[in-house]
Amino acid sequence: MRILTTETVSKIGETVELAGWVANRRDHGKLIFLDLRDRGGIIQMVVTPKSAAYETAGKLRPEWVIRVKGEVKGRPEGMINKDIPTGTVELGVAELEVLNEAQTPPFPIDTDGHDIGEENRLKYRYLDLRRPRVHKNIQIRSEYVQRVREYLFAQGFTEIETPYLTSTTPEGSRDFVVPSRMYPGQFFALPQSPQQYKQLLQVAGFERYFQIARCFRDEDLRADRGFEHTQVDIEMSFVTREEVMQLVEGLMITVVEAMGKTIKQKPFPHFTFKEAVAKYGADKFDMRSEAEKAAGVLAFAWVTDFPFFEKDKEGNWTFTHNPFSMPAPEHLEWHLKGEHIEEITTQQYDLVCNGFEVGGGSIRAHRPDVLKATFKTMGYGEEQIQKEFGHMLEAFSFGAPPHGGIGSGVERMIMILTGEQYLREVQAFPQTAKGHPSVMNAPTLISPERLREFGLKLDEKQIKK
């Protein structure tokens, strides 16, 4: 039975079997030292000229895949390597089998990789992911998501998946679209968030919903933004703004403290949008001192009372956060009448941490007339409202409970937890800065036959080949 490198420390004197990648080979006179890497970590191994494995060991190159058998030996006091968890032991290799050879990797894997060009790292992402730093980030991400799930299940939430091939759901970005073969010339939109479905699930009586949801947004790429991101997506019925915020605060505190982090201030401080802008000049801000930054402290804060609407480039009113939000109770009359639009605030809340917006949500307009008023303010005519959002208005006419929720970005939280500056360091297969996926070649042209199936014709002049 194969065991992990990290399990060897308690097995001194035993013969064990290990498997993994050759991280390093050093020949010291007659002795051959090998570092073996597996998902647990790294162990030093020694092959002596007396070993049956000696000849094969001499041929090994970095990243070859091997299986070995040998005795775990305690290292003498002076030879202990404090930098690795297996530093107290080494393996005396008795048998060695090569499972696969490897070409020389295009870049080193045993460094932090920050100095290697992004294009190359992502082209060979499966090698880059062997790098301990990146490997660890992905493991931390998995742990975070697991802890979030555990917390929410314990609070009575149901995890529900919602469709990817659907209709537009506005979050202020462009949609990615997918052509339909069954309906030539027509397109699905990939959801910018599960917003509408999670609200429909409240109408359906799932009073506590969550999803680890993928969201697709066709927007300009930045350090902390990709075409795809994952969010912890939550929606709850019969709750006030404060109750949603309390739930999310409990979730964050429990999860990040379990992961060994310190939080600057509990309960999280609250700012109105106006207070935040007056104090920090922005609605996301970093409250940490230099010492707290160095110690990896997390400084969360809530921001509330945002303006509901702002003017877009054409001078028309558009939503600041979410068209499905409920206005503040004291502004509901104005909202329904379309008056004092610039003064209407929404029951939106943003969660800020270390300068990032790590969450945003709101209490929703669960009455059809309130939601309709939002779209009217945005200049939609009756026909357009019915066409784009008639299904929501209809659903709300069948006894929609008051509800609200939040979406909290997984990548941004993992960037904070790991101290990474770029989204690509915390996604297994991120896009390149030029908008291509890792490893694979996309987008690509498709054959004329497929285009015909979709009822599409290309504008040859626009095609970049």
C-beta separation of 324 from 366 below 8 A:
no
**Beta carbons of 66 and 113 less than 8 angstroms apart:** no
Site for ligand ASP in 227-246 (CB under 6 A): none
- Pull the structure tokens for residue 163: 């469709």
Binding window for ligand ASP (CB under 6 A); candidates: 10-18, 216-224, 263-271, 358-366: 358-366
What percentage of the chain's residues is helix, strand, coil (to nearest 5)? Answer: 30, 25, 40
**Which span (47-55, 253-261, 270-278, 402-410) binds ligand ASP, by CB under 6 A?**
402-410
Out of 5, 8, 137, 322, point to the residue binding ligand ASP (CB under 6 A). Answer: 322
Radius of gyration of the chain, Cα coordinates, nearest whole angstrom? 27
CA–CA separation, 38 vs 68, rounded Å?
12
d(CA 364, CA 392): 12
66-85: contacts with ligand ASP (CB under 6 A) = none
Distance CA 130, CA 135 (A): 6
Shortest Å, Cβ 321 to ligand ASP: 7
Asked if residue 171 binds ligand ASP (CB under 6 A), the reply is: yes
Residue 90, interface with ligand ASP (CB under 6 A)?
no
Of 306 and 454, which CB lies nearer to ligand ASP in the complex structure? 306
As given in the structure block, the two tokens for residue 456 are: 């599409």
Closest CB 407 distance from ligand ASP, rounded Å: 3
Among 11-19, 145-153, 307-315, 359-367, which window interacts with ligand ASP (CB under 6 A)?
Answer: 359-367
Least Cβ distance, residue 362 to ligand ASP (angstroms):
5
Handedness of CA 51, 56, 62, 67 (dihedral sign): negative
Q: Exactly one of 301, 406, 410, 415 binds ligand ASP (CB under 6 A); which one? A: 406
CB 72 within 8 A of CB 16: yes
**How many residues are given for the chain?**
465
**Residues 6+ away with beta carbon under 8 Å from 16:** 3, 7, 8, 69, 70, 71, 72, 91
Q: Which stretch binds ligand ASP (CB under 6 A): 58-66, 220-228, 405-413, 414-422?
A: 405-413
Give the one residue of 191, 323, 361, 430 binding ligand ASP; rule: CB under 6 A. Answer: 361
Nearer to ligand ASP, 20 or 359 (CB): 359
Q: The tokens of 2 are what?
A: 């194969």
Is residue 283 packed enough to be buried (19+ CB in 10 Å), middle (13-18) or exposed (0-12)? middle
Residue 362 within binding range of ligand ASP, rule CB under 6 A: yes
Q: How far apart are CA 5 and CA 23, in angstroms?
A: 13
**Nearest approach, Cβ of residue 332 and ligand ASP (Å):** 19
CB of 213 to ligand ASP, least distance (A): 8
Helical axes 410-418 vs 132-154, angle rounded to 10°: 120
Q: Are strands 42-47 and 89-100 parallel, antiparallel or unpaired?
A: parallel
Binding mask 275-314 for ligand ASP (x = CB under 6 A): ----------------------------------------
**Nearer Cβ to ligand ASP (70/407):** 407
Residue 407 binds to ligand ASP (criterion: CB under 6 A): yes
Decide whether 141 or 321 has the Cβ nearer to ligand ASP. 321
- To ligand ASP, the closest distance from the beta carbon of 75 in angstroms equals 52
Among 360, 374, 413, 414, binds ligand ASP (CB under 6 A): 360
Rounded distance between C-alpha atoms, residue 119 and residue 280, angstroms: 36
- CB-CB contact of 296 with 419 (8 Å): yes
251 binds ligand ASP (CB under 6 A): no
Choose between 25 and 403: whose C-beta lies nearer to ligand ASP.
Answer: 403
**171/425 with CB nearer ligand ASP:** 171
The two structure tokens encoding residue 32: 């051959």
Which helix (H) or strand (E) covers residue 215, if one does?
A: strand 208-216
Find the part of the chain contacting ligand ASP (CB under 6 A) among 139-147, 182-190, 403-411, 453-461.
403-411
Helix, strand or coil, per DSSP, at residue 158: strand
User: Which region, judged by CB under 6 A, interacts with ligand ASP, from 135-143, 149-157, 404-412, 443-451?
Assistant: 404-412
User: Cα separations (Å) of 198 from 18, 162, 307, 438?
Assistant: 47, 8, 24, 30
Instruction: Kindly determine how many residues on this chain lie close enough to bind ligand ASP according to the rule CB under 6 A.
Output: 10
- In angstroms, give the least distance from the CB of 54 to ligand ASP: 59
Tokens of 445: 């042209």
Nearer to ligand ASP, 197 or 271 (CB): 197
Residue type at 399 in one-letter notation: G
Site for ligand ASP in 179-218 (CB under 6 A): 193, 195
CB of 396 to ligand ASP, least distance (A): 16
Q: List residues binding ligand ASP (CB under 6 A).
A: 171, 193, 195, 322, 360-362, 405-407
